[in-house]
Each structure stands twice: as C-alpha cells, then as structure tokens.
Amino acid sequence: MKKDVVDKKSCENCRYFSQHYSIQGTGYRTVGCGHCLNSEIIKKKKPYELCEFWENIAIKKEERKESIKETLRYMSERLNEITIILKQDI
C-alpha cells in the first residue's frame, strides 16, 4: 500500500478494519469490502463513513509484528526443550 494511501483517514486504513478476501487461483485477493472489529461501535455506519474510533493501521501492523516475534520466541524455547529431551533419549 502506498504511503499517501495509508495516511488517508478511511475505514480501510483503520486499525479496526478487517478486509474481506476471495480465493483466486492459488492465492487470495482483496475484495472491495470488509467490516469493523471495534466492539465499541454499536450502530452501523454507512459504508466507509469515518467514525470517531479511527486509529492508524500502522498500530495494528506493529502489534502483529510483536505478536509474531513473541510466538517465534515461544516456539524457539519449546524446540530447545524438545532437542534436550531427544538428546537425553539417545
């Protein structure tokens, strides 16, 4: 996504927006819709009408990166434990 598009305040650039996808061939493609994951929004807004809960998608991306890093650290620790167990069984 281009920087000028990401900086634009719209639902698709919001932390709470969940993009919808369709399967095409061997991969996925975005479709022109999605939905909001913010539980504080009670009333449905008009499609792509910006609300007061908008937050930059960069926050979501950073949280995802941190989550992946933490998962990889956890997996590494478990693999080290398995390695120790397997070495003891030899």
Provide the whole-model pTM.
Answer: 0.61
Q: Tell whether the model's pLDDT for residue 2 goes beyond 80.
A: no
Residues 43-86 pLDDT 10s: 666 656 678 888 899 999 999 999 999 999 999 999 999 999 99
Residues 75-88 pLDDT 10s: 999 999 999 999 99
Query: What are the residue boundaries of the structural domains of the chain, listed by start?
Result: 1-55, 58-90
23, β-bridge pairs:
28
How far apart, in Å, are the Cα atoms of 18 and each of 13, 65, 76, 82, 83? 10, 17, 30, 37, 39
Separation between Cα atoms, residue 82 and residue 28, nearest integer Å:
35
Confidence of residue 41 (pLDDT cuts 50, 70, 90): confident
